């Protein structure tokens, strides 16, 4: 059997995959272009994909009729046309659960860096700007007694909620497809944890931002297009909200240029699951899904159309 891995993963996962058959791993340190991806998957029985790989009917066609599984090394699977693959009898799997704590930690790290001006202070010192301590210097915002509004009450959203409660915050949740106006109106922090679907694309738009408190902060560690990035820049420049922490971007890896100039914005390059332990477990889980299907069993983490 032939297994295609579209970008390098942990060696532990590759060892498990090699026990099943021939493994081809892309050596390109970048996403494969569509034409490259089509050529790479030719003859594959299994494809281990990344969130930047668009896997649709054309890719399945390029792979051939023997393709049995696409194992996405991510929780989200908006990059995969699940119905098109299901029509061809191809299993689609993801890697839920194992990245919950790492992503929740990163979301809270963004919040602390933003509200306590950690990243801003770091930039000031590295620029060798003069400073001296006084009681009004670089004042931030405390979290105790504030309200955390969480959009999307799945595993990661709940994990962020537990962390917020440990910091003395009040936590409220709303459904992933339509954040309640009351949540946006009353929350001191709005943290996004909903999957990207047609309904959630630009869920946070100009109207949603205008509804938020002018002292509120927005955190996004889910998918970039959930936020209208241009509208967010407009809102920040107009002081409609107090700041934003973003780990994901609407046109990733590009970032709305105006956000790069703002001190009340903290940006990280999609690091939500980026711990050695988590990324290893994600790859191992994808390998186990491949193993289950190629040995005649059911996938561990099936995605249904």
Catalytic residue list contains 91: no
Residue-wise pLDDT for 109-142, tens only, equals: 999 999 999 999 999 999 999 999 999 999 999 9
Q: Please report the domains of the chain, with CATH numbers, ordered by start residue.
A: 2-96+276-294 (3.40.50.720), 100-267 (3.40.50.720)
- As a whole number of angstroms, the distance between CA 267 and CA 256 comes to 11
Catalytic residue list contains 270: yes
Task: Classify 22 as helix, strand or coil.
Answer: strand
- As a whole number of angstroms, the distance between CA 261 and CA 245 comes to 14
Task: Classify 143 as helix, strand or coil.
Answer: coil
Q: Which of 223, 229, 240, 250 is catalytic?
A: 223
- As a whole number of angstroms, the distance between CA 172 and CA 147 comes to 7
Catalytic residue list contains 30: no
Phi first, then psi: what are they for 102, rounded to 5°?
-60, -40
Q: Which of 52, 61, 170, 252 is catalytic?
A: 252
Residue 175's pLDDT is 80
Q: Sorting pLDDT into bands at 50, 70 and 90, what band is 176?
A: low
Residue-wise pLDDT for 212-259, tens only, equals: 999 999 999 999 999 999 999 999 999 999 999 999 999 999 999 999
Residue 299's pLDDT is 97
Put simply, whether the predicted model's pTM sits higher than 0.85 gets the answer yes
Residue-wise pLDDT for 85-101, tens only, equals: 999 999 999 999 999 99
Lowest mean pLDDT among 29-38, 163-172, 178-187: 178-187
Say yes or no to pLDDT of 280 above 80: yes
Q: Which of 270, 279, 281, 291 is catalytic?
A: 270
- As a whole number of angstroms, the distance between CA 139 and CA 236 comes to 18
Say yes or no to pLDDT of 143 above 80: yes
Q: Sorting pLDDT into bands at 50, 70 and 90, what band is 180?
A: confident
User: Are 211 and 181 within 8 A, CB to CB?
Assistant: yes
- As a whole number of angstroms, the distance between CA 278 and CA 237 comes to 36
User: Are 71 and 79 within 8 A, CB to CB?
Assistant: no
Say yes or no to pLDDT of 179 above 90: no
What integer best gives the mean pLDDT of the chain?
96
């Amino acid at each position: 059997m032939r297994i295609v891995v579209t970008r390098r993963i942990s060696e532990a996962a590759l060892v498990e995959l090699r026990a099943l058959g021939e493994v081809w791993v892309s050596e390109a340190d970048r996403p494969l272009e569509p034409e490259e991806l089509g050529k790479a998957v030719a003859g594959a029985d299994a494809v281990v994909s990344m969130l930047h790989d668009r896997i649709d009917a054309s890719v399945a066609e390029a792979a051939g009729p023997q393709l049995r599984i696409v194992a996405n090394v991510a929780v989200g699977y908006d990059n995969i046309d699940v119905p098109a693959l299901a029509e061809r009898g191809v299993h689609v799997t993801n890697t839920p659960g194992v990245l919950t704590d790492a992503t929740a930690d990163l979301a809270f790290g963004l919040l602390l860096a933003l509200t306590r001006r950690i990243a801003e202070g770091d930039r000031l010192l590295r620029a060798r700007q003069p400073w001296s301590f006084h009681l009004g210097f670089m004042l931030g915002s405390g979290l105790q007694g504030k309200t955390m509004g969480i959009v999307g009450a799945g595993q990661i959203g709940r994990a962020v909620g537990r962390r917020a409660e440990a910091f003395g915050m009040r936590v409220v949740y709303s459904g992933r497809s339509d954040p309640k106006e009351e949540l946006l109106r009353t929350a001191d922090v709005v943290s996004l944890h909903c999957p990207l679907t047609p309904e959630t694309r630009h869920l946070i738009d100009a109207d949603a931002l205008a509804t938020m408190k002018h002292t509120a902060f927005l955190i996004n560690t889910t998918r970039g297009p959930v936020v209208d990035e241009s509208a967010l820049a407009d809102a920040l420049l107009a002081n409609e909200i107090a700041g934003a922490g973003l780990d994901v971007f609407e046109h990733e890896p590009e970032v709305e240029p105006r956000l790069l100039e703002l001190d009340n914005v903290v940006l990280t390059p999609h690091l939500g699951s980026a711990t050695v332990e988590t990324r290893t477990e994600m790859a191992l889980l994808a390998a186990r899904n491949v193993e289950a299907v190629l040995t005649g069993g059911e996938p561990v983490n099936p995605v249904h159309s």
